[in-house]
Amino acid sequence: MPRCPAGQFVWNPKKVLIIFLLCLTASALFFVLKHQSSEAATWSDFDFKPSYKDEEDDDHPSWVKNDTEVDKLLGGILKGGLDEKSCRSRYQSAWYHKGLKHQPSSHLISALRSYEALHKRCGPYTESYNKTVRYLDSMEFNSSTNTECKYVVWTPRDGLGNRIITLASTFLYALLTKRVLLVDRRVHVSDLFCEPFPENSWLVPSDFPIIDEFDKLNKQYSMSYGNMLKNNLVPGPKNASSLIKPFVYLHVVHDYDDDDKRFFCDDDHTFLQEVPWHILKSNIYFVPSFFMMPIFQQHLDLLFPEKDTVFYFLGRYLFHPTNMIWKAITRYYNAYLARADERIGIQVRVFETEPDPFAPYMEQILDCVFTENVLPQVNLALESLSGHSSNRTKAVLVTSLSSKYYKTLKNMYDEHPTETGEMVQVFQPSHEVEQHTEKEVHNMKAWAEMYLLSLTDKLVTSSKSTFGYVAQGLGGMKPWILYRPEEYKSPNPACQRAKSMEPCFQATPDHDCKTRNWLDTGKVLPYVRHCEDMQWTWGLKLFGKDGES
Ligand SMILES: *[C@@H]1O[C@H](CO)[C@@H](O)[C@H](O)[C@H]1NC(C)=O
Ligand SMILES: *[C@@H]1O[C@H](CO)[C@@H](O)[C@H](O)[C@H]1NC(C)=O
Ligand SMILES: *[C@@H]1O[C@H](CO)[C@@H](O)[C@H](O)[C@H]1NC(C)=O
Ligand SMILES: *[C@@H]1O[C@H](CO)[C@@H](O)[C@H](O)[C@H]1NC(C)=O
Ligand SMILES: *[C@@H]1O[C@H](CO)[C@@H](O)[C@H](O)[C@H]1NC(C)=O
């Protein structure tokens, strides 16, 4: 067994870290050999079983003391009375999230009920849907015609984290414009999430007339709003034609240009609101810009008096893991996390590959958790054979594509007692070396991991990661953000506590809609400001009252 140097250490995180890291290489190798079997067990715990046996797992877990006190409808955002067996997570999530951290406004609750009625009336294969879909066959639409139902179709781009934050953004757009949200069905959405709306599906039917166009949607697409503006295809003073195409493509991707960004200008919605079908593709959380649009402001103020709760409520309303994933989440939670006194999530997203950035990232993580008192330091002078002087336990859930961070933390707490006497256990459900967005099982694991992170009590996330945004948003948590190391040097300070739990809107519009001049959009409203994890003006985020909440 390799020994780390023993000695007396004063309270100095950095010093402990460096010495620890020096002996790490030797220990890590030894550790891999010693723990190979236990790691295999961790893997199999995260397998996805096809389904539940009937009646199994309907009871609340033993650590829930009084089930009748649990607010299963999440303050009223969820509609009661839906079938529980087909989507167990919908009503069971309240047990695991241990109550709501904020209360929804009555306006939000009634907006969701109205939306559900609209979705029922206009969803796939209803009379109104059939009528409106026919305009797509003829590709002609007279803008003076008023269709009963209008739609926004969401199509995916990039990783699962991006998909979740853009789907929530698109749903808010649907709520604000009274459009029906439909979702591209070809990306295993139904393997990941239950149907959120009662009585009719949110999936685009497979016989949708322009479904083959979805793959062609990009910045160059001729029917994108930006290109239509460039080609004078938008009716207005220059072109008074009332015959328009029945759909418009909204390109809300980080590479969008100033014309595409006119989607965030009030005046442009005079035309956009006429078009029955909006097809939207995005990879960014574009919610904050709606708060800067006078046409939506009043409604948004009523829906979200606490501005930084948008993703928290819309996420908890929309994203219910399917039974198969819920089973994996709850089995894992009950086996490893439920009994700890405190749960800590650490989400590591490494962007560099060569040379291996492990050492600076690991140093940064340790520096952060020790300095911010998220985890206790270890006493390297002692081995942990003697047991723990306190019965408090902390369970650490690490998510990363690599297992090195998990192994290092686990090794450290397995071999040495903590300064506080607490017991720290470290877990990692799964790891894959690269990100495989299209692989179904990869996305199922990623979703289960995001959800598990959202169930922790304290969260440490990597900056600019949508995976972390989803976890913090669903959990209603303000994470400690690990700044990205520059040039392989871990930054100082290693991390900083976020002031808002909202995701960051990266690649934000930066023009004034009226004057078309450059505008620092982070300085217009007190509750829409630049993100903590982005440089300078490259991101907008919603904050609570006075920037706190
Ligand atoms: C559980 O809570 C309900 C409502 O607060 C109460 O009426 C009931 O007595 C409680 N049951 C137990 C076993 O504590
Ligand atoms: C809508 O069209 C589908 C076939 O495309 C049909 O099965 C369905 O009955 C229609 N709905 C109504 C309400 O007529
Ligand atoms: C469009 O509809 C309006 C009102 O119904 C009608 O006056 C106009 O002639 C129509 N335009 C075309 C090109 O069909
Ligand atoms: C005006 O728009 C229509 C369709 O929206 C298009 O066919 C026509 O070419 C446009 N006219 C000009 C002058 O660009
Ligand atoms: C800690 O564990 C001991 C022995 O199991 C027990 O007697 C004691 O009550 C526990 N203390 C707390 C605070 O749970």
The pLDDT tens digits of the residues spanning 128-174 come to 999 999 999 988 898 888 889 999 999 999 999 999 999 999 999 99
Higher local confidence (pLDDT), 52 or 413: 413
Q: What is the residue-wise DSSP string for 180-220?
A: EEEE-GGGSHHHHB---STTS--BPPTT-TTGGGGGG-STT
CB 119 within 8 A of CB 152: no
Is residue 29 scored above 60 in pLDDT? Answer: no
What is the average per-residue pLDDT within 193-221? 95
Checking if the pLDDT of 98 tops 80, the result is yes
Ligand nearest to the CA of 388: 5
Farthest-apart Cα atoms in the chain, separation: 83
For ligand 2, what atom is nearest to the CA of residue 127? 13
Q: What angle do CA 527, 267, 230 make, to 5 degrees?
A: 115
* Statement: 6-43+321-498 belongs to CATH 3.30.870.10: no
Are the C-beta atoms of residues 182 and 154 closer than 8 Å to each other? yes
Task: Please report the DSSP string for 64-85 in residue order.
Answer: -S-GGGS-TTGGGTSPSSS-SG
Residues in the chain: 549
Q: What is the mean pLDDT of residues 1-6?
A: 43
User: Taking phi first (over 0 means left), then psi (-120 to 50 degrees means alpha), and beta for anything else, what does residue 463 get?
Assistant: beta
Mean pLDDT of 390-400: 93
Q: Is the dihedral of CA 36, 364, 433, 444 positive or negative?
A: positive
Q: What one-letter code names the amino acid at 371?
A: T
What average pLDDT does range 330-337 have in this prediction? Answer: 92
Cis upstream peptide for 156 (omega within 30°): no
**3-state DSSP assignment of residue 371:** helix
Nearest-angstrom CA–CA distance, 63 and 61: 6
The pLDDT value given to residue 42: 41
Pocket of ligand 3 contains residue 146 by CB under 6 Å: no
DSSP, res 232: T
Residue found under tokens 């139904």? 190
What is the pLDDT of the chain when averaged over all its residues?
A: 87
- What pLDDT score was predicted for residue 14? 57
| Cα 120 to ligand 5 centre (Å) | 55
**Whole-angstrom Cα distance, residue 353 to residue 402?**
11
- Closest C-alpha to 243, from 92, 343, 138, 172: 138
Q: In the chain, what are the domain boundaries?
A: 6-43+321-498, 106-318
Question: How would you class 138 by CB atoms within 10 Å of its CB: exposed for 0-12, middle for 13-18, buried for 19 or more?
Answer: exposed
Tell me if 95 sits within 8 A of 236, measured CB to CB. no
Question: Which pair of tokens denotes residue 32?
Answer: 């891999």
Could you tell me the distance, in angstroms and rounded to a whole number, from the CA of residue 247 to the centre of ligand 2? 21
- What pLDDT score does 484 carry? 82
User: d(Cα 454, Cα 469) in Å, to the nearest integer?
Assistant: 10
| pLDDT for the residue numbered 9 | 38
CA distance 330 to 321: 11
Cα gap 422→406, rounded to integer Å: 19
Point out which residues pair with 224 in neighbouring strands: 249
pLDDT in tens, 420-456: 999 999 999 876 655 555 577 889 999 999 999 999 9
CB of 243 closer than 6 angstroms to any ligand 3 atom: yes
Report whether residue 68 contacts ligand 1, using a CB cutoff of 6 Å: yes
Ligand nearest to the CA of 422: 5
Question: Which are the contacts of 262, defined by CB distance < 8 A and separation ≥ 6?
Answer: 225, 226, 229, 268, 513
Please state, in angstroms and rounded to a whole number, the distance separating the CA atoms of residues 474 and 161.
12
Ligand 4 centroid, distance to 244 Cα (angstroms): 8
More confident residue, 66 or 343: 343
Q: Whose CA is nearest to atom 9 of ligand 4?
A: 233
pLDDT digits (tens, 9 = 90+) for 31-73: 444 444 343 334 334 666 555 555 556 678 888 888 888 899 9
Q: Please give the distance, rounded to the nearest whole angstrom, from the Cα atom of residue 126 to the centre of ligand 3.
A: 26
Among the atoms of ligand 3, which is closest to the Cα of residue 143? 1
- Selected residue with higher pLDDT from 390 and 531: 531
